[in-house]
Amino acid sequence: MGKKITIEPVTRVEGHGKVTININDKGEVEQSRLHIVEFRGFERFVQGRPYWEAPVLVQRLCGICPVSHHLASAKAIDVIVGAGTGTGLTPAGEKMRRLMHYGQIFQSHSLHFFHLAAPDLLFGYDSDPALRNVIGIAMANKELAVQAVLMRKFGQEIIKATAGKKIHGTGAIPGGINKNLSVAERDSFLKAADPNNADYMVKWAQGALDFFKGYYKKNKDFIDNFSYFPSNHMSLVRKDGALDLYHGVLRAVDADGRKVLHDVDYQDYLKYIREEVKSWSYMKFPYMMSMGKEKGWYRVGPLARLNTADFIPSPIAQKEFEEYKSLTGKVNNRCMHTHWARLIETIHAAEMIRDLLNDSDLQSDNLVTSGTRQARGVGVIEAPRGTLFHEYSVNNNDQITECNMIVSTTNNNEPMNRAVNFVAKAMMNGKKEITEGMMNAVEVAIRAYDPCLSCATHAYGQMPLEITLIDPNGMILDKKAK
């Protein structure tokens, strides 16, 4: 008799989701799905609000990466106030926002690697769940745990200095920014005693990557082959092909590295991307129209970004990028290498923070610009988890009439479902008993994408994930929630 496994909730991700795995009479996995069970609402209730409120309102989608929503929304509103697309701001306006964004990337990547992913790597995905968490890390490796906390703190302090608050600030306003960086604030990051300064953060980011590479040497087979499947990859890149997490053009490559989206202006994203709705999830399934629903799905995030970018415009990260590329080839479809890519980006973020802090434009008082008013604007940014789209239409009374968001995790919806299916088949086919370790392996695959399920459904409220085992008649045989 077949059965259905339910993993609910999925843990150590941001948001509330569950996994169901259907197993047939022969004990083979027939179908598996990642369901997102939160309800959406932001796109609707932002309607009628004045446009300048959007960057502050919509960032409440998330408590982990509010800066990404704040900035993507602000970039869209920049277009509406005639301040141009990404490059029309004053130097202080753009660089303050970039500093805020790299602070966000640095803290979010640090949070994900140390707090969410590292327990699986340090202890093994089938180790005791009571230890397989950040507290377990603190007990096993105090130094690493302290580093994790201080790296995240540094990023959060950068956000506070640029946005006014560590979470849900108000820094980015239509056409620019509402404050510059004082000399005292700058020096608090550049001249603070070790380890709380920008130079030390670069070193620590390198140390985190070295830790991962050490793990990789000992666990090459697992990192290379766990949840390994081909896909398309999409991200913003700078016009010259450099990795740029704040602004650029949209590029996508296929599983072999051929360009399938050729550096297009994201204001026209609807010409290239569509979202499919499926009855069993509140999260939509985006795809590239030119390739159709079946073949047009893509990955976003660190793995995708290092596949689309030609180079990284900061020296230490570039050196690591070259090594990574030499070992992994032109296009990397290996799911667990996302952690590797994420840590290279963490170094890049630290380098960018350090360089921006040394830029005197940040002390300028020329903060805001504007131009001819437009009725519609699109803002796209590379959030820690991947490409994030915000689109707004505004009426003549300055009220938002329409809003569309495609959140990073939504872009990764199909890849995460593929990953769940891949791991479920690899781990559970023909097995009589489903162990906690097997279920966590499914979560490990999801976790590699660092999903934020609340963002993805634009939910307002709580976040928690759950796995269900169903027989061929639809009867629930087993259900596990954490």
Partner 1 sequence: MAFVKFIVDGKECMSEEGKQLVEAAKENNIYIPTLCNYPGIPPKGSCRICTVLISGRPATACTTKVTEGMDIQSAVPELESFRKSVVEILFAEGNHFCPSCEKSGNCELQALGYKYTMMVPDFPYMFPKREVEAWHPKLLKDHNRCILCKRCIRGIHNNDGKTLFAYGKRGDKLLINIDPETSKDISDELAQQAMDMCPVGAIIRKEKGFAVPIGRRKYDKMPIGSDVEE
Report how far residue 232's alpha carbon sits from residue 478's, in angstroms, rounded to the nearest whole number.
Answer: 35
The DSSP secondary-structure symbol of 127 reads S
Query: At closest approach, how far in Å is the CB of 60 from partner 1?
Result: 6
Q: Binding-site residue total for partner 1 (CB under 8 A)? A: 24
Q: Which of 127, 219, 399, 401 binds partner 1 (CB under 8 A)?
A: 399
Choice between 52 and 229, CB closer to partner 1: 52
Tell me, rounded to whole angstroms, the distance of Cα 203 from its chain centroid. Answer: 23
Choice between 59 and 147, CB closer to partner 1: 59
CA-closest candidate to residue 345, choices 367, 327, 360, 324: 324
Query: At closest approach, how far in Å is the CB of 55 from partner 1?
Result: 8
Q: Which of 52, 215, 222, 228 binds partner 1 (CB under 8 A)?
A: 52
Q: Which of 210, 240, 268, 398 binds partner 1 (CB under 8 A)?
A: 398
Are 401 and 394 in contact by the 8 Å Cβ rule? The answer is yes
Choice between 82 and 241, CB closer to partner 1: 82
Are 478 and 434 in contact by the 8 Å Cβ rule? The answer is yes
Choice between 163 and 423, CB closer to partner 1: 163
Which of left, alpha, beta for 257 (phi over 0: left; psi -120 to 50: alpha)?
left
Per CB under 8 A, 364 contacts partner 1: no
Q: Which of 29, 57, 137, 304 binds partner 1 (CB under 8 A)?
A: 57
Q: Which of 1, 27, 31, 48 binds partner 1 (CB under 8 A)?
A: 48
Q: Which residue has the tokens 């202006």?
A: 265
Q: List binders of partner 1 among 157-176 (CB under 8 A).
A: 163-165, 168-171, 173-174
Stretch that binds partner 1, among 1-9, 43-51, 84-92, 235-243 (CB under 8 A): 43-51
Count, residues in the chain = 482
DSSP H/E element including 287: strand 285-288
Q: Which residue has the tokens 């008649």?
A: 473
Are 117 and 448 in contact by the 8 Å Cβ rule? The answer is yes
Token digits of residue 333: 């479809």
Q: Which of 397, 433, 461, 473 binds partner 1 (CB under 8 A)?
A: 397
Per CB under 8 A, 405 contacts partner 1: no
Query: At closest approach, how far in Å is the CB of 247 from partner 1?
Result: 21
Choice between 21 and 56, CB closer to partner 1: 56
Report how far residue 341's alpha carbon sits from residue 112's, in angstroms, rounded to the nearest whole number.
Answer: 13
Choice between 173 and 312, CB closer to partner 1: 173
Tell me, rounded to whole angstroms, the distance of Cα 45 from its chain centroid. Answer: 24
Q: List binders of partner 1 among 72-101 (CB under 8 A).
A: 81
Query: At closest approach, how far in Å is the CB of 359 from partner 1?
Result: 19
Q: List binders of partner 1 among 301-340 (CB under 8 A).
A: none
Report how far residue 286's alpha carbon sits from residue 296's, in angstroms, rounded to the nearest whole number.
Answer: 8
Token digits of residue 383: 């959030």
Query: At closest approach, how far in Å is the CB of 72 from partner 1?
Result: 16
DSSP H/E element including 177: strand 176-177
Give CA angle at 298 (295, 302), nearest 5°: 160
Query: At closest approach, how far in Å is the CB of 59 from partner 1?
Result: 9
Residues whose CB is less than 8 angstroms from the CB of residue 193 and which lie 6 or more positions away in sequence, other chains included: none
Query: At closest approach, how far in Å is the CB of 183 from partner 1?
Result: 16
Per CB under 8 A, 179 contacts partner 1: yes
Q: Which of 24, 85, 127, 178 binds partner 1 (CB under 8 A)?
A: 178
Report how far residue 59's alpha carbon sits from residue 299's, in angstroms, rounded to the nearest whole number.
Answer: 23
Q: Are strands 476-479 and 17-23 parallel, antiparallel or unpaired?
A: unpaired
Choice between 164 and 257, CB closer to partner 1: 164
CA-closest candidate to residue 35, choices 282, 276, 275: 282
Query: At closest approach, how far in Å is the CB of 57 from partner 1?
Result: 4
Q: Which residues bind partner 1 (CB under 8 A)?
A: 48-50, 52-53, 55-57, 60, 81, 163-165, 168-171, 173-174, 178-179, 397-399
